[in-house]
């Protein structure tokens, strides 16, 4: 399978857009737009970001604290800026935490380095979230099929409504037992 085909297949998975920020070797803020971000663990509070080995940010993250700036829908210029297409308006930095972060995000996680792993042509960085901020009034910026999107209109239904496997009302535990529907019908008929 060629790389373009694989990239198109990966592009079928819609994701949020983040900018991973840290300090460069001169101590100045640096960032890279990244869609490969995910939560890893609630306790300890771990998240994962994956950066191409070719990026400057990858070389700065080795054992450095970093921030995961989860971009808001109105931060397309910020995403483009840190994807290597500088914009007229410079990003606004917040340097209050252990790593430089951006202002105006939907959410920000400030992380200390936890571990890093070989990911082929990428490096997988795990960070422990030491601080987090959220602006619940902002929708996230999304990336799907190689283009940016916003969340769109809110749906009146959600996948979890009425589901017994809802993480908010409790997962099925190890003691749960299930009777296949055809056996329930057979038992009811007898």
- Residue 105: pLDDT band (50, 70, 90) is very high
* Domains held by the chain: number: 1
Whether residue 49 lies inside any domain: the answer is: yes
Whether residue 182 lies inside any domain: the answer is: no
Look at residue 130 and tell me whether its pLDDT is greater than 60: yes
From CA 60, how far away is CA 49, in angstroms rounded? Answer: 14
Whether residue 174 lies inside any domain: the answer is: no
From residue 179, give the alpha-carbon distance in Å to each of 163, 185, 186, 187, 190.
Answer: 17, 10, 11, 10, 16
Q: Which of 3-12, 54-63, 110-119, 174-183 is predicted most confidently?
A: 110-119
pTM over 0.75? The answer is yes
Whether residue 95 lies inside any domain: the answer is: yes
Whole-number pLDDT of residue 79: 95
Say which DSSP state 92 is in: P
Whether residue 171 lies inside any domain: the answer is: no
> What phi, psi does 116 have (nearest 5°)?
-140, 150
Whether residue 43 lies inside any domain: the answer is: yes
Question: CATH number, domain at 43?
Answer: 2.30.110.10
Whole-number pLDDT of residue 89: 86
The mean per-residue pLDDT over the stretch 88-116 comes to 94
Query: Which token pair is 73?
Result: 């829908």
The mean per-residue pLDDT over the stretch 44-54 comes to 95
Note down the domain range covering 135: 16-152
> Which residues, 6+ apart, have CB-to-CB distance to 164 below 8 Å?
172
From CA 122, how far away is CA 119, in angstroms rounded? Answer: 5
Say which DSSP state 165 is in: T
């Amino acid at each position: 399978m060629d790389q373009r085909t694989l990239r198109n297949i990966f592009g079928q998975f819609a994701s949020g857009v983040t900018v991973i920020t840290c300090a460069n070797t001169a101590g100045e803020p640096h960032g890279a737009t990244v869609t490969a971000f995910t939560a890893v663990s609630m306790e300890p509070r771990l998240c994962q970001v994956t950066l191409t080995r070719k990026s400057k940010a990858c070389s700065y993250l080795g054992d450095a604290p970093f921030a995961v700036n989860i971009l808001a829908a109105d931060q397309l210029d910020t995403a483009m800026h840190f994807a290597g297409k500088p914009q007229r308006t410079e990003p606004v930095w917040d340097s209050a935490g252990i790593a430089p972060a951006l202002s105006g995000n939907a959410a920000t996680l400030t992380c200390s380095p936890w571990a890093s792993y070989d990911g082929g042509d990428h490096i997988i960085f795990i960070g422990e979230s030491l601080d987090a901020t959220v602006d619940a009034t902002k929708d996230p910026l999304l990336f799907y099929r190689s283009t940016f999107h916003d969340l769109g209109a809110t749906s009146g239904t959600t996948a979890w409504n009425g589901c017994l496997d809802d993480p908010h009302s409790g997962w099925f535990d190890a003691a749960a037992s299930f009777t296949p529907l055809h056996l329930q019908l057979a038992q009811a008929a007898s």
